[in-house]
Structure 1
Amino acid sequence: MNTAEVAKKFKDLGWKNGLDYDRFSLRELEDRTVITLWKLRNYGPTIPQVLETQNNLQVSWFSDAVKKISTRKSPYETMLRHNKYNRTKGQPVTPDMVEAAAEQAIAWAKVQDLDAQLQAYRVRPLHLTFDEYGPAHLAARALCGDIDQLRHYQDRYAAGHLEEFGHGGHIHPNRLHINTDTIARAIEYAEGMIARGEARSPTVAPSS
């Protein structure tokens, strides 16, 4: 198979194809979307082709919160990324192999516990959220209505305790995703969740 044929097979199976640095195919399920990043690798005529896939999970309510708090422009904002790469070898890779990879991705996505993942972001130690986990942590706090904790972050940040947020000389400024603006937007988002009675948990997580 070639790349166009792999993409067509995903499409024939009901997936939508896209490109964002890597090729990806996505499939909307009942309450979540599975996104599979994939590459078709060719190493030579005598070496098997390799279909390499990595599965990601998108949830609309989580993605919306992250995007509004961080203002990131990614076409998809994942809630969970499977660290494992799946590699299927074939000489050549066949449509059945692509279908098996698609079925595996759907099966993986269906068993993920969304509430558990939300809580994992929510209780992540604050000083470890300087990277891409920063917006996810703020979003989880906002979605759960942790307004007092977010205001505590705002006060500590304003007082100059930046080390609590992972800010250090070894970290490039472009990677500092928790700052005055994102904290303020998280507070605003949390206020909206509380006002609408949509906060996802009444229990305030332990302070970071």
Structure 2
Amino acid sequence: MKTADVTKTLEVLGWETHTDEVGDKFTHFYLPDRTIQIIYGVRKFSNAQQLEAMLSLSTDAFSKACSEISGDGAGYTPLIRAWKGIRMKVPEVLEEHVRQVSSESIQWAKGQDLEAGLKTNASLPTDAPGARAVWHLGALAVLGDIARLRSYQISFEAGDRLGFVNYVTRGYIDRAVGLAQHFSCN
């Protein structure tokens, strides 16, 4: 089976499939309170194939908060990532293997604690590298932690960036405060 065949099978199973800007395949499956993402592919070996799947999940609220805070328009931001994905090495990848990956991915996602995922991201240090700063702000916003975010505003006003990566501006903090106010009212 080729990656294109895996894509067709996932679509039949209800997954929404996509290709990113470099050609990697990923797919989303929507549950009432969370979205599962699989980044997948088929690797060929001389005597076998390996179906590989990296798993993550998110919520609409977290993804939208991170997108609005950063202003990048990203549609999906992972809230929880699986430490290890699924790797299935078999003589030939068959539809039953794709079905198994789909089922295992959904079961994994259903077993994850969304509140704990938000708290983990909210507890990231302000000097966390890369996108983690936005995840931190997004989680604080979704949790409605207005007091903490306002303390960040005060620090930024005083010239203390709290160790945030350079791309995090006062605008990021301001947008996070506005979102936190929104989430705390709902």
Superposition TM-score, scaled by structure 1 size: 0.82
Partner of 2:109: 109
Amino acid at match of 1:13: L
Partner of 2:137: 138
Partner of 2:163: 165
Distance 1:166 1:183, change over 3 A: closer
Q: What CA RMSD, in Å, does the superposition of the two structures yield over aligned residues?
A: 1.6
Q: Distance in 2 between matches of 1:77 and 1:125?
A: 18
Partner of 1:185: 175
Partner of 1:40: 42
Report the alpha carbon displacement of residue 145 of structure 1 after superposing the two structures with TM: 2.2
Superposition TM-score, scaled by structure 2 size: 0.91
Q: What number of residue pairs does the alignment pair up?
A: 184
Amino acid at match of 1:31: D
Q: Distance in 1 between matches of 2:74 and 2:44?
A: 29
Partner of 1:170: none
Question: Which ranges of structure 2 fall in alignment gaps of 5 or more residues?
Answer: none
Partner of 2:15: 15
Report the alpha carbon displacement of residue 106 of structure 1 after superposing the two structures with TM: 0.4
Report the alpha carbon displacement of residue 131 of structure 1 after superposing the two structures with TM: 1.8
Query: What secondary structure, in the 3-state scheme, does the structure 2 residue paired with 1:76 have?
Result: coil
Question: Which ranges of structure 1 fall in alignment gaps of 5 or more residues?
Answer: 168-172, 199-208
Report the alpha carbon displacement of residue 99 of structure 1 after superposing the two structures with TM: 0.8
Quick check: 1:26 aligned with 2:28? yes
Deviating beyond 4 angstroms after TM superposition, the runs of 4 or more aligned structure 1 residues are none
Q: Distance in 2 between matches of 1:81 and 1:99?
A: 21
Report the alpha carbon displacement of residue 56 of structure 1 after superposing the two structures with TM: 1.1
**Contact residue 67 and residue 75 of structure 2 kept, 8 A:** no
Query: What secondary structure, in the 3-state scheme, does the structure 1 residue paired with 2:127 have?
Result: helix
Report the alpha carbon displacement of residue 115 of structure 1 after superposing the two structures with TM: 0.6
